[in-house]
Amino acid sequence: MKYVLPSGRKPETVSAGPIPLMKPITTRVLLLLLLAVITQPALAVLKIEITEGVEGAMPIAVVPFEWSGGPRLADADVSAIVTSDLLRSGKFAPLPEKDMLAKPRTPAEIDFTTWRIAGVDNLVIGNVSLVGADQYEVRFRLFDIYSGKQALGYSYKANSTTLRAIAHQIADHIYEHLTGIPGAFNTRIAYITSQQEQGGAPQYRLQVADTDGYNPQTLLTSPEPIMSPAWSRDGARIAYVSFEDGKPAIFLHDIHTGKRENIATFAGINGSPAWSPDGKTIAMTLSKDGNPDIYLMSLADRKLRRLTSHWAIDTEAAWMPDSRSIVFTSSRSGKPQLYQLSLDAGARPQRLTFEGNYNANASVSPDGRSIAFVHGSGNSYKIALLSIETRSMQTLTDGPLDESPAFAPNGSMILYASQDRGTAVLAAVSVDGRNRQRLALSDGEVREPSWSPKR
Amino acid sequence: MKKLLIFLLLAVLVSACESQVRPDDDTAAGGAGAGSDNAGATVGTIGGDGSLIGTALEGKTVSYEKNAINDAGNVLSIRTIYFDLDSSNISDVDTEVLKHHGKYLSLNPDASLRLEGHTDERGTREYNVALADRRAESVKRVLLFQGAASDQITIISYGEEKPAALGHDEAAWKLNRRVELVYE
């Protein structure tokens, strides 16, 4: 993957290329990548830091997998990735390796009594075997300590490039088996970074990374702001707002080919793109007819339909899962509040939020039953959750400058933008508000996360 | 006694009325000295009649010739309008400044101006783009009222994306709630 520094005002689109799922990585390419990582701060990895406790987490032991036929790959340490994913979910308390009294490699080696005494409920063992040139076989088994029985077991074929994704799939299987909820570890996030270059002008980047922060790739670099990344429901494209032409326009960017299309460059505001779950429509904010309003663009023929036409600010559209109504922010009652509007002709917006005088930036849960949003009171802006059915509201974070909530595709967590000691960072909170983790980029400011659908 | 009181009352009322009346000038109202419609003539200096003393306009010259926008002593050198939180209302002093810009545009039809709208960092990003757009539209309205043509003015809203000051307190925030006038 090439990283190209832009010259002057013109931004460069860095093509991610076809995502190299099956191509073997040669040593030379690895060295180049290493060089790129060392010399380009933009490729710094998101570091995950756990900042809140893990009350009620399930004890589990993931024994380091045995590697045979070749060395353990430090960058694709399968059992370490599984452990890290389960820990990050907030629902598991993995036993640290130094506390493991035994490290069984086969079912026959497992002494269930010892593990019961250690208070571990679930045990994962596995191995990674190099069986050919850059060809691996990965196997894992999940055991229930109390019954002494195997609960789950899978094997996979992989190469050095796909090993991390396999590890995330393993974590997803374990998570779903033990919690009943599908995992969201084999997913990616898109986000915007802003870094002050030497010379003082900030450089903006749209980046995509694995949800654990690995494999960051830059899709766009620009000396002008980039905003509002929104992942399409099929995971193939990202919509965003770019000011690269001196004014805001909405682009659709194919993440596999790097090709992109400018779909909205009307006079005034072109903002807030949102893909309908059925993939047919993009909602957007346009002010071309005199005032910021919500419009719908059909992806088949690019035709526009105006949805709101109130003199107030109407923006930040978010779709309900049936693609038949949207939630949006409107100042029509004086201050920003959330409203829901059916797409049926003649429908009127129904106000959803009544507490406080600033409620904006909705993200709808995958099951459509709750909305994460930004709730402001005084100088403090926090992420809150609204139940559609009961209309009750719960704040999930402490602020003071939390924004851009994005639901995980399994509805279990909400990614959002926060501030830590003056630096913009990403953070994640579980929907019950109990578990919170911070993800920190090593350099620069990170914001506006968007979570991909499951791969 | 009663007649004297009525007389005094009338005198007070008349003098009060007089001080409210401003000469119906075609040049910008306010403290400019002798007025003139002619873009070529220097119109005067602000503060000449006692008003606008102590504001940013005090001592600035007023003229609308083509190069006036390059003169650092001219009132047109004031290029930033500031706003209160969540508001797109323009202060009286800033309205004065904009009247001069509007006049300049109306007398120089080849001139074009970009209005760049901004907010502070509080609140959500896309809502702030809309709020900053509102601020720029407010500024544009004052300019149009003074005779500027709509196609002389373009508006870009940056919301909170391009702060002038990077702090996280009111000292920084108030410098970010602004519209910048950029002559092209």
- Contact between residue A259 and residue A238 where contact means Cβ atoms under 8 Å apart: no
Per residue in A293-331, pLDDT (tens digit) is: 999 999 999 999 999 999 999 999 999 999 999 999 999
Based on the number of CB atoms within 10 Å of its own CB, is B127 exposed (0-12), middle (13-18) or buried (19 or more)?
A: buried
DSSP 8-state code for residue A109:
G
Q: Report which of B11, B178, B1 is spatially closest to residue B79, judged by C-alpha positions.
A: B178
Residue A261 has pLDDT above 70, yes or no: yes
Confidence of residue A378 (pLDDT cuts 50, 70, 90): confident
Average pLDDT of chain A? 88
A-contacting residues in B 100-139 (Cβ below 8 Å)? 121-127, 129-131, 133-134
Token output for A370: 């709750």
Q: CA of B72 to nearest chain A CA: how many angstroms apart?
A: 25
Where do the structural domains in chain B lie, given as residue ranges? 78-183
Same domain, A156 and A208: no
What is the C-alpha to C-alpha distance for residues A396 and A418, in angstroms, rounded to an integer? Answer: 13
Q: How far is CA A209 from CA A14, A171, A439, A441, B50, in A?
A: 15, 18, 12, 11, 63
**Chain A residues close to B115, C-beta within 8 Å:** none
Taking residue B73's Cβ as centre, other Cβ atoms within 10 Å add up to 12
**Are A151 and A255 members of one domain?**
no
Residues of chain A with a CB closer than 8 angstroms to some CB in chain B: 225, 227-228, 243, 246-248, 268-269, 271-272, 285, 287, 292, 313, 315-316, 329, 331, 335-336, 358, 360-361, 374, 376, 379, 381, 401, 403-404, 419, 422, 448
**ipTM at complex level:** 0.84
- Look at residue A12 and tell me if it is in a domain: no
Does residue A405 surpass a pLDDT of 80? yes
Residues A155 and A193 in one domain: no
- Facing residue for A358 by CB, picked from B123, B156, B157: B123
Provide the residue count of chain B: 184
Q: What is the predicted pLDDT for the residue at A36?
A: 40
Q: Name the domain boundary from A156, A179, A202.
A: A179
- pLDDT at residue A18 in the model: 39
Q: A146 and A199 in one domain?
A: no
Strands B61-63 and B42-45, bridge-based pairing: antiparallel
Last residue within a domain, chosen from A128, A147, A179 = A179
Interchain contact, A401 vs B161, CB within 8 Å: no
Phi, psi of A53, deg, nearest 5: -70, 170
Domain identity same for A159 and A210? no
0.80 exceeded by the pTM?
yes
Q: Which residues of A touch B122 (CB under 8 A)?
A: 376, 379, 381, 401
Q: Among candidates A404, A405, A400, A361, which has minimal Cα distance to A382?
A: A400
CATH number at residue A88: 3.40.50.10070
Q: Do B124 and A329 touch (CB under 8 A)?
A: yes
Instruction: Write the pLDDT tens digit of every residue in B10-50.
Output: 555 555 444 433 333 333 333 444 444 444 445 677 766 66
Looking at residue A32, its pLDDT comes to 47
H or E stretch at B175:
helix B170-176
- On the question of pLDDT at A42 being above 50, the answer is no
Q: What is the arithmetic mean of pLDDT over A411-422?
A: 91
| Residues of chain B positioned with their CB less than 8 A from the CB of A272 | 126
Judge: A335–B122 Cβ closer than 8 Å, yes or no.
no
Inter-chain CB proximity B168 and A448 less than 8 Å:
no
User: Facing residues of A370 across strands?
Assistant: A387
Establish if A67 belongs to a structural domain: yes
Query: Does the pLDDT value for residue B82 go beyond 80?
Result: yes
- How big is chain B by its Cα radius of gyration, in Å? 20
Please provide residue B92's backbone torsions phi and psi, each rounded to the nearest 5 degrees.
-60, -45
Q: Which residues of B touch A193 (CB under 8 A)?
A: none
Token representation of residue A282? 């993009």
**Sheet-wide strand order for A393-395:** A359-364, A370-377, A380-387, A393-395
- Would you call B156 and A247 a contact, using CB atoms and an 8 Å cutoff? yes
pLDDT of residue B46: 72
**Across A241-245, A335-339, A369-373, B59-63, least confident range:** B59-63
Nearest residue to B62 (alpha-carbon basis) of B93, B90, B100, B92: B100
Same domain assignment for residues A139 and A168: yes
Range of the domain at A151: 55-179
How remote is the C-alpha of A73 from its chain's centroid? 25
Read off the pLDDT of residues A126-169 as tens digits, 9 standing for 90 and up.
999 999 999 999 999 999 999 999 999 999 999 999 999 999 99
pLDDT tens-digit series, residues A190-236: 999 998 877 778 899 999 999 888 889 999 999 999 999 999 999 99
User: Dihedral angle at the C-alpha atoms of A260, A265, A268, A270, nearest 10 degrees?
Assistant: -40
User: Does one domain contain both A172 and A197?
Assistant: no
Domain end point (choices A147, A179, A211) = A179
With respect to residue A340, please indicate whether it lies within any of the assigned structural domains: yes
In a domain, A80, yes or no: yes
- CB atoms B125 and A243 under 8 Å: no
Residue among A285, A287, A360 whose CB faces B123 most closely: A360
Whether residue A15 is contained in a domain is answered as: no
Whether A155 and A269 share a structural domain: no
Q: Is the separation of the CB atoms in B88 and B136 below 8 Å?
A: no
Å between A447 CA and nearest CA of chain B: 11
Which of A225, A292, A361 has the CB atom closest to B158's CB atom? A225
Instruction: Give helix then strand counts, H and E, for chain A.
Output: 4, 32
Average pLDDT estimate for A51-77: 87
- Pairwise CB contact (< 8 Å): B155 & A268: yes
Which of B74, B184, B168, B65 minimizes the C-alpha distance to B121? B168
Q: How far is CA A25 from the centre of its chain?
A: 26
CB nearest to B125's CB, from A227, A292, A336: A227
Q: Within this chain, do residues A395 and A254 fall inside the same structural domain, yes or no?
A: yes
Rounded to a whole number of angstroms, the distance between the first and last alpha carbons of chain A is 21
In the predicted structure, residue A51 carries a pLDDT above the cut 80: no
| Residues A228, A332 share a domain | yes
Residues A72 and A137 placed together within one structural domain of the fold: yes
Give domain status of residue A25, yes or no.
Answer: no
Between A364 and B52, the higher pLDDT residue: A364
Residue A119 or A224, more confident? A224
Q: Residue B129 and residue A403: Cβ atoms within 8 Å? A: no
The answer to whether B147 faces chain A, any CB pair under 8 Å, is no
Q: How far is A271 from chain B (nearest CA, A)?
A: 7
Residue of A50 and A169 predicted with greater confidence: A169
Cβ(A186)–Cβ(A436) under 8 Å?
no
- The answer to whether residue A118 sits within a structural domain is yes
Amino acid at A380: S
A175 and A194 housed in the same domain: no
Q: Residue B130 is nearest to which of A247, A269, A419, comparing CB atoms? A: A269
Q: What percent of chain A has pLDDT over 70?
A: 87
Residue A37 has pLDDT above 70, yes or no: no
Contact (CB<8Å) B126/A404:
no
CA separation for the pair A126, B3 (Å, rounded): 110
Give the number of other Cβ atoms within 10 Å of residue A34's Cβ.
Answer: 10
pLDDT reported for residue A454: 80
Looking at CA atoms only, how far is residue B26 from chain A in angstroms?
A: 29
Digit-coded pLDDT (tens) for A426-454: 998 988 887 788 876 556 899 999 999 98
- The CATH classification number of B78-183 equals 3.30.1330.60
Q: How many CB atoms lie within 10 A of CB A14?
A: 21
Whether residue A13 is predicted with pLDDT greater than 60 in this model: the reply is: no
Q: Check residue B74 and report its DSSP letter.
A: B
Evaluate whether residue A48 is within a structural domain.
no
CB nearest B126 (choices: A228, A379, A419) = A228
| CATH number of the domain to which A236 belongs | 2.120.10.30
- pLDDT beyond 50 at A5: no
- Domain total of chain A: 2
Nearest CA in chain B to A338: B127
